Amino acid sequence: MTWRARNHPSYWAFALHRVSGLLLAAFLPFHFWALSTAITGAARLDAFLDWTRQPLVISAETGLVILLAAHLTGGLRLLALEFLAWPNWQKSAVGLSAGISLAVGLLFLLNAL
């Protein structure tokens, strides 16, 4: 693969979709662990929820929401390219996916603050 192909917006959309999927998969065990605190008792769940109100955790949650939105919009872009006849809109779809992902993350951050 040449450098020119790697500098194309579609390549970066592919890379972001792949990396976001891998990072979300790596997050799943922590998500299940957090859910398990609800089973162990109300006090432990309340302590965990108090811990999640720290600024570092809120910023990590914002990053997670951006990853989720990026993976979702990237997947929708791929479905649109697969099933619709829009080959000329590919760059616009990449930009739209990125914009929607960032907007969702910023909305989450505004709600978390």
pLDDT digits (tens, 9 = 90+) for 23-56: 999 999 998 998 898 888 889 989 999 998 999 9
> CA angle, corner 12, sides to 10 and 14, nearest 5?
70
Give pLDDT tens digits for 104-113: 888 887 877 6
d(CA 79, CA 13): 13
Q: State the pTM of this model.
A: 0.68
Give pLDDT tens digits for 50-75: 998 999 998 988 888 888 888 888 88
Tell me the domains of the chain and their CATH numbers.
3-112 (1.20.1300.10)
d(CA 100, CA 45): 32
Query: How confident is residue 80, by pLDDT bands cut at 50, 70 and 90?
Result: confident
Q: Which of 37-41, 86-90, 93-97 has the highest mean pLDDT?
A: 37-41
Residue 106: both structure tokens together? 């910023």
d(CA 73, CA 106): 15
The DSSP symbol for 113 reads -
